[in-house]
Structure 1
Amino acid sequence: MSYLYKWILFLPQVFVFVKSGSCMWSKRKQIKLIASLRGNKLLKDLPQEDLLKLLSEMEEVVWPKHTCNINKDRTFYYFHFLVSGRLKVYQIEQNTGREFTFFLLGNTDAFDILCLLDGYEHNVYYEAIDRVVLLSLPMERMKIWVSNHPGVNKNLLPYMSNQMRILEEYASNVTLVDISTRLARLILSNINKESRELELINDLSNEELANLIGSTRAVVNRHLQEFKNDGIISLGRQKVEIKDIDLLLLKANKNGASAP
């Protein structure tokens, strides 16, 4: 996606508010949304009754694919749980268009945790990689839920700890590790432990992969071709499949990376 085209997508009309309050949803839809909330990393310990109460305070919001949010009011005044789709959290250098991607959020994630905890505006942008469906509620209401439900409060710490580890690993890799190893570690960290399939990044463009490891599209493309020639992966149309995880580990194990 070109820099100019991406900025065209920074428009205020990207949000589609579907419904608000559990009484507005069919029973079947309620069951689906409750299942999604139950799978969220922050809400996994809440009982069914509390999940239903929480859902009654929420609105369903849709972000169309490839749309970007620079309206920080939506992330400062509202807390969001991902129901489906992937969301990129990133920063951009406006003079050059260069990007750095902090995280890719999926359907077990929530945001913005920093706004929830410290009450300050978070200077990042969000882009919908897919069509993204969110369940949102006012930030002040979410703070009350955290205060009144120790289980949610308890889950915040490991969630934040995991995000800090991701950033710490990136800082270490970009300073100490060559790009081939960074790419191998990125792929390895996104392999499902049970299915051994590549998830979350499997269909990203080379440019998006580059933004995750501090590189460029051309360099990432070259290393992916090397991985393919070495029998580590196969490449389809914007799709990466793992062929030999042991060889991938050899690429990534300079500092003791382990198999998923």
Structure 2
Amino acid sequence: MAMFVHLTSAANAPRIRRSGVRAESTGQGDARGVYCFPVLRSYTHTHQWLRELARFGSQGGLVAVHLRLDDAEPVRVGRYGDRVRDAQRLVPAADAVRRVAALEDPRGWEVFVPRAIRPREIHRIRAARQVAGWRYRPDAHGDRPCTCAGCRIRGEYGSRRLRERLPHPLDGPPPPARVLLARIAAAGDPGDPAVLKDALHWFGLRRRGPLAALAPLATHPDPHVRAYLVWAVARWSTPGVGDLLATLADDPHPDVRVAVECVREAH
């Protein structure tokens, strides 16, 4: 039996003991499953994702859920960046452990189980020291951090001081809504994708917005504009956002559907 560790919020521990680990994460393609990492001799390598996952918040800290999977269980293994290139390989669980254990530097690697974890596969749940691992990416220490809206996390400890010290040209405050709507109108019909995506970027930094004026972009012929629309309105408290996201969840392009899934998981 191959042993893996899955890191999750301590608040999820009672549910995991009772029902197992839900298949909530999205892997390559449309598969949903659970991310984990092989249990290695090195505690630091085994729990290397702790500090990075802690950046996104947790209730009561993170705990380590140890899983026992059949050696022949098919899983995907690879570096985090390989998700985008669809380069993570589908291999038996035992082979995934051997591959990662043989690496000189296994930092940034991960294993994806394309299904939920059943309760009988939970070996134990224990507290994990919250100081292990890297943040942002392996070897990021000493590099200038990026403070753009896509990289920073709202409310993260020290983020305000970091933005004051290293301002980014894409930081807010965004232009007034009337200015952004004028840019969208001037882009024409159906509209220049570059102009529309720039306006939607700034709309995404707002807490509310003119949803009715942006809703027609849900039928724009460029799927990247539709995906930008998802990210722009996802955090709005404006009534009707849920209905618009439900419409875009059935979009014919996979990038738009994935964007909807991501914002729903984040909230």
Pick the TM interval, shorter chain: under 0.3
Could you say which structure has the higher helix fraction?
A: 1
- TM-score, length of structure 2 as denominator length: 0.27
Give the TM-score, by structure 1 length. Answer: 0.28
Please identify the structure whose Cα radius of gyration is greater.
2
